[in-house]
Structure 1
Amino acid sequence: MDTAERYRVFAEREVRGHSPAYEDLARAVAAAPGLVGLIDELPPIKRQPNLLLASVRFLGGPWDDPAAFLAWTVHEWERVRATMLARRTQTNEVGRCAALLPVLASLPEPLALIEVGTSGGLCLYPDRYRYQYDDRPAVGPADSPVVLACRTDGAVPVPERVPRVVWRAGLDLDPVDVRDDEALRWLECLVWPEQADRLERLRGAAGMARREPPELVRGEAAEALPGLVARAPRDATVVVFHSALMPYLEPEERDRFVATVRSLPVRWVSNEGSPRLPSVLARLGRPPSPDRLAFLPALDGEPLAMAGPHGEWLDWLG
């Protein structure tokens, strides 16, 4: 799709009902040929709505008035452009752990976790968060600074406890150090306006990670992964997992990454938007509804569920 359509789809399928401000801004951008033309001068991977909107907020631009947003962004385009080229959309959404937990808890313990596209590594701590699935008894440490609520449908295998994790490491082209105030401010700007709950759990998870920083490795997914897997404890189940990584890989990079994961002695847990992993989508018994954006939590390429992009709901298949 072209850039204008991309922003319209973002407004209609991703932020509608979640961020009225971003819905209005995305529609305004889609209807502004001058700004769309500027965006089209960027590399394709840098034209993402989230990246533009977060960059304007990071620079102190207006976000609650579409006309003011358009005027400011065009006037300050060189600064906005430089920020978009220098930064990445590294939304470190810990809510996705609610979609991952039932899959991780089904694997033999102890676990050694490797997250690809880890950003600040906040999803490397699924055993440190507390989970509330519907009205079931809560799972996870009672004193956790982060509580993740998730609506469920179907026979979700909600575990009675979180799995035991003995080793964890993250891999990213540009890891985020959450101990750096500017880096953390960028992550906060990636949270959509009006979503105070997401911002609260980001800050809670970041505070925990600041006290116990995760091991983060800089590198390209397919190239660096084998070496990281080789470092994992041999007496643990090594789990390579990722959420919302595929939009940032070109098709050939995606295929190379999938081939690499399948060649390694690991369990592979993916949580990607439904069209992003064609091999997983092909195994889905029924197509996702076109009316809502769905992720597909999968184990070793086999889809197990459909989930909200931020882990807010989980529908188990079968």
Structure 2
Amino acid sequence: MSTGHFYADGDIAEIYRWFAAEAAPSSPTWRAVCDWVARTGAVADRLAALPGMKRQPQLFLAALRRLDAPLTPGPALADWVAEHWDELERTILGHSTQTNEVGRCAVHLPLLAGLADDAGPIALVEVGSSAGLCLLPDAYAYRYRFADRPDLVVGSGTPVIPCRIGGATPAEAAYATPAIAWRCGIDTAPLDPTDPEVAAWLRALIWPGQQEREDRLAGALATAAGLPPVPVITGDALEALPDAVTEARRHADTVVVMHTATLSYVSRDRRARFGALVGGLGARWVSCEGERVVPEVRDRLPAAPYAGPPCFVLALDGRPLARVGQHGGWIDWLTEAAADRTVGPA
């Protein structure tokens, strides 16, 4: 039966060819491994037999890193996969893709700060919060780089997260540390940032050769360890979100529901239900997903084909405002004509 998700229903070779193209600009190692999987029937057959969303490349690749597999495509890797398949399968089945990339905080920050400027301190609810590191945007520092003026440093924490800015910053955004009165996460399997095994899995999810991301993760984990734990609700977002928003509203007039690279892991039907749910809760909605993931955002994007590097679309209340790096790193604000301005707050 179809689940309505490419990872669960698609041909493994096609899935891995697609992911190779996604990884190519920032991880030559994963591009090469994914291309190899697509051509190697014995490995592809093992992966095709995994259940549902466990067939996603991110889990297999992270498991290879976690178990110190050789990462050069060829007979040695094929032999290693065959010899260690039971351990690989246990690792894949026992984990989820919960990349807690704090670099994404740099693209969230302008919208969160803009909302806080408009209405005072906000209450922040993150769906798919993983270890909760992206719920601490006010604990890190940021270096925003502009083409036409000097860099702007915001905040004084660790790590310092760089972000290149392109396009004209919209009125909804501000480069400042947002005032956050209360925060919580929602996750089906929350992670403890103080657990060494959690830290090891989060490192494994980082793509090979991206030392800057590993350093950011280490800095964010150290920062989180020195702060009070952030409450996280264990459960499904469709069920847990209404109560979370109700509690958040006790702490601030403006409640922000935020998610990044989360809805891409659920079925199309659940994505549509999620958008309708958030719209009915009276919260502001900050989404950061692939351009085809959120229906409300997809239908308001410019008609002209996008020819840039792989990206997410940053949106407020279903209205696209920018294309951004998948792991943070850059924001290209859409022009006022390209971003639909006819849709009001949720």
1:45-60 correspondence to structure 2 within 5 Å: 45-60=53-68
Other-structure match for 1:185: 200
Aligned counterparts of 2:197 and 2:61: Cα–Cα separation in 1 = 17
- Matched residue, 1:10: 19
Summarize deviations over 1:219-264 as a string: whole Å, max 9, x none. 1011011111111134331100000001211122222222211111
Task: Tell me the equivalent position of 1:41.
Answer: 49
- How far apart in 2 are the matches of 1:140 and 1:175? 29
Q: Name 1:153's counterpart in structure 2.
A: 166
Partners of 1:200 and 1:242 lie apart in 2 by 23
Given the alignment of the two structures, is residue 173 of structure 1 paired with residue 188 of structure 2, yes or no?
Answer: yes
Aligned to 1:244: 261
Please name the residue that 1:227 is paired with.
Answer: 243
Q: Alignment partner of 1:139: what SS?
A: strand
**Cα offset, 1:160, TM superposition:** 4.5
* Deviation, structure 1 residue 4: 0.8
Structure 2 contact 182–252 (Cα < 8 Å) conserved: no
- Give the count of matched residue pairs: 316
Residue type of the alignment partner of 2:167: G
State how 1:90-239 maps to structure 2 within 5 Å: 90-107=98-115, 108-135=119-146, 136-142=150-156, 144-157=157-170, 159-212=174-227, 213-232=229-248, 233-239=250-256
CA distance 1:310–1:66, change in 2 (3 Å): farther
Report how far residue 174 of structure 1 moved: 0.3
Distance 2:143 2:97 in 1: 28
Secondary structure at the counterpart of residue 125 of structure 2:
strand
Contact 1:294 1:308 in 2 (8 A): yes
Q: Give the aligned residue type for 1:131.
A: Y
Tell me, yes or no, if the aligned pair for 1:241 and 1:268 is still in contact at 8 Å: yes
Q: CA deviation at 1:290?
A: 4.6
For 2:134 and 2:45, locate their aligned partners in 1 and report how far apart those are by CA, in whole Å: 36
Q: Secondary structure at the match of 1:241?
A: strand
1:127 touches 1:140 (CA, 8 Å); kept in 2? Answer: no
State the partner residue of 1:310.
Answer: 327
C-alpha spacing 1:110/1:26, structure 2 compared with 1 (3 Å): same
Counterpart code for 1:145: T
Match of 1:21 among 9, 16, 29: 29
Q: In the aligned structure 2, how far is the partner of 1:8 from the partner of 1:260?
A: 34
Which stretch of the first structure deviates more once superposed, 76-85 or 284-293? 284-293
Task: List alignment gaps of at least 5 residues for structure 1.
Answer: none
Aligned partner of residue 114 in structure 2, secondary structure: coil
Cα distance per residue 1:162-186 (max 9 Å; x no partner):
1111111110000010111001100
Superposed CA RMSD in Å reads 1.6
1:263 matches 2:280: yes
Unaligned runs of 5+ in 2: 1-9, 336-346
How big is the shift at 1:276? 0.8
In the alignment, which of 276, 291, 294 is matched to residue 277 of structure 1?
A: 294
- CA shift at 1:216, angstroms? 1.4
Partner of residue 3, structure 2: none
For the structure 1 residues 287 and 313, does the alpha-carbon distance in structure 2 shift closer, same or farther, using more than 3 Å as the test? farther
Quote the offset at 1:69 in angstroms: 2.2
Q: 1:78 aligns with which of 86, 89, 96?
A: 86
Letter in 2 for 1:227: D
